[in-house]
Amino acid sequence: MATQDLARSEASMHSLRRYGFDDLRDKTVLVTGASTGIGAAVARAFASCGSVVAVHHNQSVEAAQTLVAEITQAGGRAFTEAADLARPGAGAPLVRRVAERAGGLDILVNNAGHLVKRKPASETDDDDYRRIIDLNLTSTFECCRSARPFLKSSGAGVIINTTSIAARMGGGPGSGIYAAAKAGVSTLTRALARELAPEGIRVNAVSPGFIRTPLHDQLTSLEAMNTAEQMIPLRRIGTPEDCAGTYLFLASGLLSSYITGQIIEVNGGLLMP
Q: How many CA atoms lie within 13 A of 178 on its CB side?
A: 22
Separation between Cα atoms, residue 133 and residue 86, nearest integer Å: 8
Burial class (CB in 10 A: 0-12, 13-18, 19+), 35: buried
Phi-psi region at 264: left, alpha or beta (left = phi > 0; alpha = psi -120 to 50) = beta
Catalytic residue among 19, 129, 178, 258: 178
178 a catalytic residue = yes
Is residue 215 within 8 Å of 165, Cβ to Cβ? no
* Distance (Å, whole) CA 82 – CA 21: 28
**145, 90 in Cβ contact below 8 A?**
no
What is the spatial distance between Cα 185 and Cα 110, in angstroms, rounded to a whole number? 10
Residues with catalytic roles: 178
